[in-house]
Each structure stands twice: as C-alpha cells, then as structure tokens.
Chain A
Amino acid sequence: MSSEGKVPFIHVGAFLVSELDPIIAFVNAKGFALTSHLSDIERSEMRAYMAMIDNILVNAELYLAWLDETVSSEVTRPRYGCPYPWPLNWILPLRKQSEVRARLSSNGWKDKNMKQVCEEVRICCQALSERLDQQQYFFGDKPTELDALVFGHLYTLITTELPVGQFADIIQQFSNLTNFCKHIEEEYFKD
C-alpha cells in the first residue's frame, strides 16, 4: 500500500508515510517528539543503538526466516504465500527468498552459519541489556523510538513459535530485556 512497498506506514489525512525513520521525522515535524528530554549525546547514542538493531537483529531475523531451511520451508514461505492463489503462492515466496539471499550475500551474512548468527544476536542483546540495566526505559523514565524498536523486535522473537527457537532462548537469558517487553506490553498493549 505504501509507495515504496515497505512497512510500517501511517496514514494521516492526505499523507502516507512509510518506514520508521520517515515516520519519526514526519511526527517530529508535526510537533511530537519522544526525544526532547534527551541531551545531544544521548540522542546520538540512541541512534547508534537503533543502527545496531538494523545491522544485527534485522539481518539475523532475515537469516532465520529465509535462509534457515527448516524455518523458511515450514513457516516463512507458506505464510508469505498464503494470501495468493496457486501458482503465485509459490512463485512470490521464492522470489522474496532470492531477494533476501541477495541482500544477505551483499553484506556477508549469507556465509555465516547458524552458530555465528546466534553469537551476533547474543552480542546485540548483551549490549542492549547493559544499556537498559535496571531502568524502566532505555533513557530514563520516558520511552523513546529505541524502546519501540527494541520491543518490536524482541517481543516478536520471543512470542513467535518456530521449529528453531534459538533466538528466543538467547533473549530469555537476559531477564531485564524480557521484563522490559512484559512491562511495555502491559503498559501499552493491554486492552
């Protein structure tokens, strides 16, 4: 539905904005900022963490979903193809898989094995866990974009049932991260 074919997107009046960064910029332009209580140093620190998630967690998720043979054939491909009739329900997932493979091969992730990928995820979680420490949110007592991004990724990884559950196991080792997810779920997503 978005012009670039990307999610997430928001629809505000005549505007349709897609992907996280443009959405944040758009919302800021409308006068809503979650980072106004941060100093410049904290703000750049937050951006660094967000970049780490884009570079590690996103690639690891793509690797698990599309390159791991079991997950891609049992979960990802059927799920991606289910809205379409035959033969699109197998053409489109295969096309997407080759796109993901090209992306991961260009940044070197394709040649990693599952163990190396898990190690990357563990390092990423370690860094996040240390930053969060025992605080309620990553930066003080107010949520920022980073909190939203971390919650989005970690909550999905913990709650999605897959035939291969390594990522969830890694995240469960960091109790402050799982508590963080639970807390945000109760705070914002409970009816």
Chain B
Amino acid sequence: MFRYEKMLEYPINIKKKDLKMAKLLNSQLGGPDGELGASLRYLCQRFTMPDERGRALLSDIGSEELGHVEMISTMVRQLVKGASIEELKEAGLDAYYTSHKRGIYPMDANGVPFTTAYIASTGDPIVDLAEDMAAEEKARATYENLMDLTSDPDLLAPLSFLRQREVVHYERFKELLEYYKNNKIS
C-alpha cells in the first residue's frame, strides 16, 4: 500500500521561466531512462526477488522513484506556468500545447509518449538487477547532460540531488547483485 506525504523529497523553488528546459526535462519524466520507468521497473520486478533483501530494496527504491516523478513534474510545471502562446511557440512547445496545454504528460523530450517497452521484468533476479544497474547509470548520464544544458541554480540544485540518488541506487543494486552471486542465490 502507498500513502502520500504532502511534501517533496527535496524542495523545488524555480523563479525563472524556462520553456526550453521544460521541454528537455520531460526526458526524465517519461523518457527511456526516466523516473516513471524506473519506478515501474522496480515495483514490477520486486515480486520475483528471491530473498528479503531484494524484496525490501526494490520496494523502497521503487517508492523513492515515485517521489522523483513528483519532483520532475513539479519542475516542468513551475517552468511552464504562465507562459504565453508566443513563448510556447518559440520554444517548440506548440505541439505540446495542442494536446496537453500547460499540463503534465509523461513523454520524452521529443514528445514520444511513455511506453512500458522502456522497462524489462524478466523474473530472473540476476538479469533484473543487471538491468537496474544499467538503468541507474543511464539516468545519471542523462542528469549530467541536463546539468550541462542549464545555468539556473534553481534547476541545478534539484538535478544534482537527483543525479546523486542514481549513484546511491546503483551502489545498492550492485551490492545486492554481488550478494546474490557470492551466495549463489537466484
């Protein structure tokens, strides 16, 4: 069961409107290495984890990723809020406006809608954990690319926080995979 807490994992406080960055940030919402995919990936895979450690870790990281979905959505919303039609057109968001106005919709930076084809859940814990480690590293790289594309500290702070979380998750998945391999659990 899930219960909502009425706060973000890390505060987001964007003062400057930036439609270009809003468009790009979508890649971490509904893109191939985005937070929504991460959350679904772990919350599906946890059902076939072979021991308590795996069940606990995938449940906990999957839940944290849901909080990251909320953070990215908040960033996109705050960046888009109050933009005029002209500004949206100029930033290449006119197609977005046609379907979603100034709302939130999980898609990547090019407007490709989110698909579960981005995730894998094979039922084999060794395969799944290897996939999870790769996913965390891809997300980390995407955050670094996004950080290269902006100079606004209000954006850089939460992006650097989220990037560091990928580092931690990678470390935990790696420890679990090593534990399973060393103890021949699968």
A binds B: no
